Structure 1
Amino acid sequence: MSRTPSLTSDPSDPSTQIPTPVEDQDRICTELHALYCFDVLIAHLEGREPMEPPFENKNEKYALFVTWNTSSNLRPNRKPALRGCIGNFSPMKLAEGLREYALISALEDHRFSPIKANELPHLSCHVSLLTPMTPISSPLDWTPGIHGIHITFPHPDHTGNRTLSATYLPEICPEQGWTKEETILSAIQKAGYKYKVSVGDEVWNSLTVKVYGSEKASVTWDEYKSWSEKALKGVKN
């Protein structure tokens, strides 16, 4: 599991900082959250009810994202491929939020076809619990791997109040090998604006950008199978 360090795009500006996490036992996001998401998806595909949430903070509220990756196309120097990623910036009770977004991200991400049962052995699940968002003065005033970004901007080709938005979690920029400029430009495309944008042009200058941190836990299919078999054995005993 990875843990996001202090949110410090500018150490001299306390408005862009969050408390630094402390010891492992104080983590709010653990592998149990990702294991639960796996069980929620499998239960849906099998037509059964998922297990009871196995984590103690099930009623605590957090903004969260659930991400599914596939490793079936791995080759030397290749990285896992995104298979679905959707979440919510409005804090939700963890048990309810993970149950909802485990399925939404697996089945309703419009960029991908719904995940099928035969893909499960090739999947990994990643849960991100987010810190509150902090505005930044420049679209490039953030640190890859530490800050997630959330952009909003008015659609320049439409009158009225139509606003486009998109986000990338902290790990996306380094995983994709993008620069900060490339990450922002990709987010603009992700938001639904398909025309060319350049650094410093009208669209770029209209951006409102906020940053946030996240605490992340990940498990593979094999880890889920091993854990679920032990859990089932414990129930039978």
Structure 2
Amino acid sequence: MSSSLPSSTPSLSASTQPSNLSTPAPGTPASPASSAICTRQHALYCFDVLVAHFQKRDPMPPPFDNANESFALFATWNTTQGRRASGKPALRGCIGNFSPMPLAKGLREYALVSALEDHRFSPVREDEIPYLSCSVSLLTPFIPIPDPLSWTPGEHGIHLTFPSPTSNSRRTLSATYLPEICPEQGWTKEETVISAIHKAGYRGKVVVGDDIWNSLKVKVYGSVKAGCTYSEYTRFIQAE
């Protein structure tokens, strides 16, 4: 497949401001102000990083204006290969970092980590690339909230921590869901929090107001997101 993957490295330009941080509902925290600019070009760059990995070449130089600005970020790959019964693309890998790092470095690292090292899935193969789409999420700073349900689905991501209930353990369990997960899954806020508790590693029953629920420390954050498909990547390369 190597001969069919684009090998040129054109320059890219970033231009659009994020638009998905809205006014919160009464009683919920406002999303923190963010200077993040996330565009399709960031996802195109991730595609070139992945293609370059298989072609054993360097990826294109970081082309976007905010390459040296630091952000917490996630890179997500979805696939249309073996499409689900719903017809929607299936998740192929999603890994990120909550510690801000220079954007270009972060995209180079997590474009590959999410494609090749998400242990929920086998590593992406070169012949899968034409079926992939990529999205990049840049995260805003975390805001603690006093009530695990004081957030707005679709606007806030949640990050929760709680002490492991195992009697001999001092571990802290943690999990997160990006802002889009709750509406995409059709969950209520309560269902989202309980799912995150289970995602963190607790397998017992959880109800609002029990000991596990009352031990939660929850922070919310916003994100700006952009993505592209492989066909958009190839058209971009061919147009240069």
The TM-score bracket by the shorter chain reads 0.7 to 0.9
1:39 paired residue number: 48
Count of aligned residue pairs for this structure pair? 224
Paired amino acid for 2:184 = E
Distance 1:77 1:93 in 2: 37
For 1:129-175, what per-residue CA distance to the aligned partner results, in whole angstroms no more than 9, with x for missing partners?
A: 11101011111111111101101111101435310111111111111
Distance 1:78 1:47 in 2: 34
Structure 1 residue 86: deviation in Å? 0.9
Aligned 1:1-237 pairs, distance under 5 A? 3-6=19-22, 8=24, 10=26, 16-19=30-33, 28-74=37-83, 77-231=86-240
Q: Specify the SS of the correspondent of 1:3.
A: coil
For 1:175-214, what per-residue CA distance to the aligned partner results, in whole angstroms no more than 9, with x for missing partners?
A: 1111111111111121122233222222111111110001
Structure 1 residue 97: deviation in Å? 0.5
Distance 2:81 2:228 in 1: 15
Contact 1:31 1:217 in 2 (8 A): yes
Paired amino acid for 1:118 = D
Aligned CA distance change for structure 1 residues 194 and 159 (closer, same or farther; 3 Å): same
For 1:16-40, what per-residue CA distance to the aligned partner results, in whole angstroms no more than 9, with x for missing partners?
A: 4434x7xxxx861111100011111
Q: Specify the SS of the correspondent of 2:198.
A: helix
Distance 2:203 2:85 in 1: 32
Contact 1:83 1:112 in 2 (8 A): yes
- Write out the 4+ residue segments of structure 1 that deviate beyond 6 Å after TM superposition: none
Structure 1 residue 87: deviation in Å? 0.7
Q: Specify the SS of the correspondent of 2:209.
A: coil
Distance 2:128 2:72 in 1: 27
Normalization by structure 1: what TM-score? 0.87
Q: Specify the SS of the correspondent of 1:114.
A: coil
Distance 2:30 2:162 in 1: 21
Distance 1:17 1:88 in 2: 19
Gaps of 5+ in 1: 232-237
Structure number with the higher helix fraction is 1
Structure 1 residue 73: deviation in Å? 3.7
Contact 2:31 2:222 in 1 (8 A): no
Paired amino acid for 1:6 = S
Aligned CA distance change for structure 1 residues 9 and 148 (closer, same or farther; 3 Å): farther
1:234 paired residue number: none
For 1:32-51, what per-residue CA distance to the aligned partner results, in whole angstroms no more than 9, with x for missing partners?
A: 10001111111112222111
Aligned CA distance change for structure 1 residues 153 and 18 (closer, same or farther; 3 Å): same
Contact 1:185 1:197 in 2 (8 A): yes
